[in-house]
Amino acid sequence: MKPHAHGVLAFALLLASLPALALPSFAEVRAAHRPSDAWLLARDGTPLATLRLDHKVRRLPWVPLREISPALRRAVLLSEDRRFLDHAGVDWQAAAAGAWSTLTREQTRGASTRSMQLVGLLDEDSRRRGRRSLLEKLGQSATALRLERSWSKDQILEAYLNLAPFRGELEGIAALSRGLFDKWPQGLDEQEAVLAAALLRAPNAKPEVVARRACVLLKEMQREALCRDIGDVAAVTLDGVLHQVDQTPQLAPHLAQKLLTLPGQRLKSTLDAGLQRFARETLRRHLAALERRHVEDGAVLVIDNASGEILAWVGSSGDLSAAAEVDGVTALRQAGSTLKPFLYGMAFARRDLTPASLIEDAPLTLATGNGLYAPQNYEPDYRGWVSARTALAGSLNVPAVKTLVRLGADDFQQGLRRFGFDSLVERGDWYGYSLALGSADVSLTMLANAYRALANGGRWSRLRATADGKAAPCRGNVCASFDGSPRQALSPAASFLVSDILADRAARATSFGLESWLATPYWSAAKTGTSKDMRDNWCAGYSRRYTVAVWVGNASGAAMHDVSGVSGAAPVWRDVMDWLHRGDAGGSSRVASTPPPAPAGGVARTVRFEPGPSFAGEPPRREWFLAGTERSVVTAAPARALARIRYPADGTIVALDPDIPPGRQRLPLQLSARGEAGWHWRIDGKPAGRADRPGAWLPQPGRHRLALLDAGNAELDAISFEVRALRGRR
């Protein structure tokens, strides 16, 4: 018997006596394969974004053998395992030759088959250790024999090509093909195939070494002519910059960042792929037009009113922004005038106001703990007496602040919390009168869902971003719109009044004109807002079926140059809303949006306004009221009806500073409206001066009662306050 034959027999007997490794099935290996990325899908399965979650390797989805280039399959088998189709897992001839070369110290080709190499790839412990001992190699051979009895040759080759490391972090033929050659495995030509096969032997070899080995394979494939420039191809391919391995369009990267958690995950969202693309391109187009006005960021959110499903989530303007990673959908920014609809809605619900109530738009100064607060309108003029409808639709600031004074800052803050503005964690007094003008920070998700609640008759419910409704894109008070039980934030009738005003083109005409971005050819209700120094502008609104909210500004907080909600966010809002209600050539019918019917408790009356002091006048109209508040004639209220003690407020505590002269610590006494002749103050039953002109009182330590009386000594209002004397400093 020849020495080789003796070696093969002894080797086979030894293998039979070794314990074999646990062997999974082909189906189990394929099912366990996890790409390094995760994918966010649209509601129809269209990929919207990808996110790499495994940074140890670069791995793409499993590629079936039929989708791998025949040239590559041939090159891989010629490289070190040309008898792959004939042996049963161990190449006995190569093994014997290897054993003989070990004894004679001669060098020969390796005896490891693709089946044995696959066993090594399946053994995680063995992969981590790298080089194997002789005993481990023998155990691997024994397992390869078992593998060949339960797996087909095609399955072995397919698994090997999907699991093998090729170069650097690239693992599997898909990652190699995309990263080095910018194509899928089925498109690899013969030169690319032999380069890939050569890398299997030494993944991180120098390009000239890989090219030399690839040329040997080309000669064995009888394609020697391709060796002429294989060195250049190897140099360009292996020394160049990796191509983008995954080319999924990044249409919703911010939502993907929030939702995707596991490598290989393919999560179906509620987003509409066509709408997402359109909203993103629309935002970028409008922001590009505003480039010279120092604005680069924006965000868009679109919601289905009935289900709460998010249909579009555009977190930034992409490469137009210096901070594209910041998600404008969840970032907290000052709300501006977008909170006014909720303020008036609460006043309507409490029956403090009706849409026909007259509020004086005139210069106003309010005392606060930080000094005097003097709100001004966006345009530096005042209109005298205006209806609440005109004040809200025209976004007048002074009437809004007066409405907040009537409602109370704490009640307003609590009401906003019911609408999902969970970022308002402080008491209303902490925000002060500026809360009426949107000084508080809110997110686009909160704002959009609050407007959706108005569209749904004041009923708030959580949003959904995934098909199963389980995964939330964020947590905490910044993104509380995805948590919580449904609740009635405002009565249906009061919500209807607000919606009717926000949809009233004529009511907002004095501020925005009859033809503005908000004037849609279908029914919609919308409101714009601009924060202090034009750092943020917003447009939020809804039709019968959809709610759209847009933010435009700078992620850095830098001010824009003359960009308001009407010129910045509103055009984007209008384009997206029009797209939602369009009809198209593909057979999609136009989505109708007609005025909603009045709910129970809503009453319509024809109303006229009678002149009063400084009343500019409003035309007669058909107006909506809550049942019991309706009237046919509205007259500007006299001072007696509006006057209240504004400062000091009831329960105020004043501390006297011993280091300040008493004459400079006088307490101002202020009314909420102009006083009439003969009105006067009394403190603890003693006269304290006239109330129809500015006055002040020299405070005395103790508890006091301040009363406002008319010319006939009838008490109009009264409050209690306390003055405390501080000890002198040492």
**Pairing assessment for the beta strands 37-41 and 266-268 based on DSSP bridges:** parallel
Say if residue 542's pLDDT is above 90: yes
d(CA 346, CA 403): 10
Q: Does residue 478 register a pLDDT over 90?
A: no
Q: Are 480 and 589 in contact (CB under 8 A)?
A: no
Residue spans of the domains in the chain: they are 3-239, 278-580, 640-725
CA distance 318 to 287: 11
Mean pLDDT is highest, among 140-144, 441-445, 469-473, 635-639, for 441-445
Task: Calculate what percentage of the chain has a pLDDT beyond 70.
Answer: 87
pLDDT at residue number 7: 47
How far, in Å, CA of 505 to CA of 675, rounded?
36
pLDDT at 610: 83
What is the signed CA dihedral for 117, 119, 123, 129, rounded to 10 degrees?
Answer: -30
**Sequential DSSP letters for 536-576:** EEEEEEE-SSEEEEEEEE-TT-PPPSS--TTTTTHHHHHHH
d(C-alpha 440, C-alpha 431), whole Å: 7
Q: Which two tokens stand for residue 721?
A: 């306050």
Where does the pLDDT of residue 363 fall: very low under 50, low under 70, confident under 90, or very high at 90 and above?
Answer: confident
Amino acid at 329: V
CA distance 152 to 339: 67
Report the SS3 class of residue 385: strand
Domain 278-580 identical in fold to domain 640-725:
no
Torsion of CA 611, 616, 621, 625, to 10 degrees: -80
Q: Higher model confidence: residue 502 or residue 20?
A: 502
Cβ neighbours for 642, distance < 8 A, ≥ 6 positions apart: 360, 672, 673
Say which residue, 635 or 278, is predicted with more confidence. 278
Other Cβ atoms closer than 10 A to 604? 12
C-beta separation of 358 from 402 below 8 A: no
With cut-offs at 50, 70 and 90, classify the pLDDT of residue 580. Answer: very high
Mean pLDDT (the chain, rounded) = 86
Pairing type for strands 686-690 and 702-709 reads unpaired
The whole-number pLDDT of residue 311 equals 97
Q: What is the pLDDT of residue 2?
A: 47
Q: Which pLDDT tens digit goes with each residue over 549-569?
A: 999 999 888 988 777 767 789
* Confidence bin at 245 (pLDDT 50/70/90): confident
Assign 1 a pLDDT band (cuts: 50, 70, 90): very low
Nearest to 439 by CA among 590, 298, 332, 314: 332
Q: Convert the pLDDT of each residue in 310-359 to its tens digit.
A: 999 999 999 898 899 999 999 999 999 999 999 999 999 999 999 999 98
pLDDT for res 91? 61
Lowest mean pLDDT among 257-266, 590-599, 655-664: 655-664
Least confident range of 411-415, 438-442, 471-475: 471-475
Helix axes of 207-220 and 190-201: crossing angle, nearest 10 degrees: 120
Please name which of 104, 106, 116, 126 lies closest in space to residue 80, comparing C-alpha atoms: 116
The answer to whether 249 and 47 have CB atoms below 8 angstroms apart is yes
Q: What's the pLDDT tens digit per position in 21-44? A: 568 899 999 999 999 999 999 999
Q: How far is CA 601 from CA 346, 491, 596, 597, 628, in A?
A: 15, 9, 14, 12, 9
pLDDT tens digits for 680-716? 999 999 999 999 888 899 999 999 999 999 999 999 8
Q: Give the residue with greater pLDDT, 220 vs 91.
A: 220
pLDDT of residue 13: 45
Burial class (CB in 10 A: 0-12, 13-18, 19+), 44: exposed
Tokens found for residue 640: 């007696």
In this prediction, residue 46 has a pLDDT band, given cuts at 50, 70 and 90, of: very high
From residue 132, how far is each of 97, 117, 135, 569 by CA, in Å?
19, 12, 8, 64
Name which of 332-341, 431-440, 565-574 the model is least confident about.
Answer: 565-574
Amino acid identity, residue 28? E
Q: What is the CATH number of domain 278-580?
A: 3.40.710.10
The pLDDT of residue 175? 93
Topology of domain 3-239 in CATH is: Penicillin binding protein transpeptidase fold (1.10.3810)
What pLDDT sits at residue 194? 93
Range from 16-25, 53-62, 378-387 carrying the lowest mean pLDDT: 16-25
Contact in structure between 271 and 42 (CB atoms under 8 Å) = yes
Residue 284 has pLDDT above 80, yes or no: yes
pLDDT (0 to 100) of residue 625:
97
**DSSP alpha helix (H) spans, 22-181:** 26-32, 70-78, 92-104, 114-122, 124-129, 134-150, 153-163, 173-176
- In this prediction, residues 4-13 reach a mean pLDDT of 48
What is the CATH code of the structural domain delimited by 640-725? 2.60.40.10
